[in-house]
Structures are given as structure tokens and as C-alpha cells.
Amino acid sequence: MESAYQFLLSLGGIFLIGQAVSTLGHRTFLPRVTLLLLFGVIIGKQGFNIIPALFSQQFEIIAEMTLLMVGFLIGGKLTKDSLSLGINKILWISISTAVFTAVIVSAALVWAGLPIELSIILGCIASATAPAATLDVVMESNDKGPFSNLLISIVALDDAWALMLFAVGIAVATSLSGHVSDVSSVFLAVKEIAGAVILGVLLGFPAAYLTGRFKPGEPILTEALGLVFICGGLAMWFGISFLIASIVMGAVVANFARHHEYPFHEIENIEWPFMVIFFVLAGATLELRMIADIGLIGLVYIISRILGKFIGARVGGQLSHVDKTVKNWMGIALLPQAGVAIGMALVASIKFPEYRQMLLSLIISSTIFFELVGPVFTRVAIRQANRAH
């Protein structure tokens, strides 16, 4: 009984505070994502420590459910109409940003004195971007202009490029460290990405045809959540990327569901409560003291990642002939970083136990920085792009 009332009190309090934070976010320069993270820090173990353990123990499953919905909504924006206006831009900027970030961060860390194999791994991890925070800032701004549409499309491809770079980086680092080249990492990444694409397509086509039949032209929430969660469950069972699978399924449904205009739009009505819990619990679990432990290496990593995103977006923008506004601000909008980077760091720490402490402390601490500050940069970039247009 005691755990039940604590759980309900926590849930109700977080929802009410989430609504207040959302309102406050419209009146300050801080996006609601950052405000929710800060609120989580205050009530979490770094602050007053008032979140019941029973509630915080559910963070992993809540995070996965949230990211599944985020992935599906991002995929739903990858329609033929939106891609036909900028597939060249999306590919050039997304690939260029990922590659330049990996190269610049790796080179900077070698210059700072880290072993070359560790620098390569960290550089590849740096290429990842947080889809949930980026999507929420775009939705909060209620902006449907070309810059925001391009940003969401780039974020949709970001995890795929990051996984591929990370796999290649692990193989190269293994070879450089004197071990046999770890080609299996590349095959595992290909399997994870290809498997996710196949699963998303296999679920997406029947979903596109069958949904929206109970209420003609209007998919209902239970249909939407059922398919999205089945997609996530199957992806986890097969050991493939559930985020990429949900993005692909969303894109397939959006492009092939002819009988309803906006597939699964009902998810938007329930996504925000999950986002509130997700970001509050993410803030509550942050280890802020780790920021003080990273020193000069951490500063080099943070600055070089910012430079990598900025320069990569400019180069990609130049190659795809986008306007000056996109070249100047797209890299800044791609700074948020979260769980994908930490997941990569955990995998790398198993492969390279001798670098475990440096890998985890650097990635976790820098992720805290980009998780708190990144959404602010994204909001600034969107506003500046709108003013320029």
C-alpha cells in the first residue's frame, strides 16, 4: 500500500509540474526539455532525493516506450513530399555532420594526448544526436518551416550513421591496439540497421493498409500504440535497433496509408505525458559530480564536438547548395546528445576494459552537458532560422 501511494503521488506531481514547466518554457529562453531535466535534478538523488525507488526503477521501460513513439513520429514526417523537396540536402548534411564530428573530435583528442584508438572510439560516439530532445524542441516551437522539417529529417538518419561509424571505429581501434581486427563489430552494426529496416517495412505495410478501418479515415490510439509497442518488442527480441525500426515503420505508414491523411496522429496526444516522465527521470538519474571530473579532456571533447557539428553542417550545406541560414544554424541545432551515446560507450568499455573509466566518465559527463544545454542551442537555431527566413 505504501509503495502504491508513493508511486501515484510521484506520478501526479510530475504531471502537474510538467504542465507548469511547459508553460514556463514558452516564457523563458530555456526549452521545456531543459527545464524538466533541471527539475529532475532537483528532486532526484543529486537534490532532495524525493523520488521513490519504485518509480525511478521504471525509467528504462519508460525511456524505451517514449523513444518508440518519438521514432514513429519522426518517421511519419519523412513523407515523399517532404523528401522530394530536400533528399539531397538531408543526405549530404546528415552524412557530413556525422563524419566531420567523428574526425574532428578524434583529431582533437589525439592532440590532447589520448591514445589514438580511444580517440577514434570517442569521435564516433560524438556523432550521435538525441532524437527525443530535438523533436520536442521543434514541437514546442510549433514551427513547420523548412528549417525544422529539414532538422527532423536529418535526425531521423543520424542514429544509422552513428551506429555505422561506431562499428567501423571499433574495428579500426581493435586493429590499432594490436588485437585481430574486429570485423564482427561492422557485421553486427549492419545486422542491427538492416534488421531494423526490414522489421519496420514488414510491419509498416500491413499497418498502412489495415489501420483506420474501424473509424474510417481516423486511426485510433489503441491501434497506434499496439503497433508501435509490438514493433519495439520485436526489435528488442531480435537484438536490432528499436528506434530505427520505429522510424522506418512510421515512414512506411505515412507514405502508403492512402485512406487517412495523418497516420496515427493520436500518438501526439499521449506522447507528451511520457516525455514528461522521461525527461524528469533522466534528470533525476544524472550524476552531476562527474562534470567536475572530466577536466581538460572533457573540455576538448565538448568544444571539438560543437565544432564538428558546425563545420560538418556547413560543408554538407555547401555541397547540397542550401541557403546560408541552414549552413549557419543546422550544426548548432544538432547538439543534443543522450542515451545512444551512453549505450555506445558501454559497448566500447566492454571491448576495451583498459579504457572503461575514461570512456564512461567522459561520455556520461559530456552527455549531461549536451542534454541540458543542447536543447537551448536547438531552440536558438530554430528561432534564428525563422528570423532569417
* DSSP letters spanning 182-237: -HHHHHHHHHHHHHHHHHHHHHHHHHHHHTTTTTTT---HHHHHHHHHHHHHHHHH
Which CATH number fits the domain that encloses residue 364? Answer: 1.20.1530.20
**Residue 277 falls inside a structural domain:** no
Q: Report whether 39 contacts 283 (CB < 8 A).
A: yes
**Residue 115 falls inside a structural domain:** yes
**Residue 304 falls inside a structural domain:** yes
Give the span between the Cα atoms of 129 and 29, in whole angstroms: 21
Angle at 327 between CA 321 and CA 332, to 5 degrees: 150
Backbone angles phi, psi at 339, to 5 degrees: -60, -35
Q: What is the extent of the structural domain holding 194?
A: 82-136+144-271+290-388
How many domains does the chain contain in total?
1
Backbone angles phi, psi at 369, to 5 degrees: -60, -50
- Find the DSSP H helices in the chain: 2-25, 32-43, 53-56, 59-76, 80-84, 87-111, 116-126, 131-141, 146-176, 183-210, 221-238, 242-256, 267-284, 295-319, 324-333, 339-351, 356-388
**Residue 64 falls inside a structural domain:** no
**Residue 227 falls inside a structural domain:** yes
Q: Report whether 339 contacts 128 (CB < 8 A).
A: no
**Residue 1 falls inside a structural domain:** no
Burial of 81 (0-12, 13-18, 19+ CB in 10 A): exposed
For residue 90 the three cell numbers come to 538531408
Q: How many CB atoms lie within 10 A of CB 180?
A: 7
Q: pLDDT tens string for the chain (389 positions)?
A: 556 777 777 778 777 877 777 777 667 777 777 777 788 878 877 777 777 776 677 777 877 888 888 888 888 777 777 666 678 888 899 899 999 999 999 999 999 888 999 899 999 999 988 888 888 888 877 777 788 888 888 888 887 788 888 888 888 887 776 655 555 666 777 787 888 889 999 998 888 877 666 665 555 677 778 888 999 999 989 988 888 888 889 888 888 876 665 555 566 666 777 778 877 877 777 666 666 666 788 889 999 999 999 999 999 989 888 888 888 899 999 998 876 787 788 778 777 888 877 887 788 788 878 888 888 899 889 888 887 76
DSSP 8-state code for residue 181: P
Greatest Cα-to-Cα distance within the chain, rounded to the nearest angstrom: 63
**Residue 232 falls inside a structural domain:** yes
| Exposure of 273 in the CB half-sphere (CA atoms within 13 A) | 8
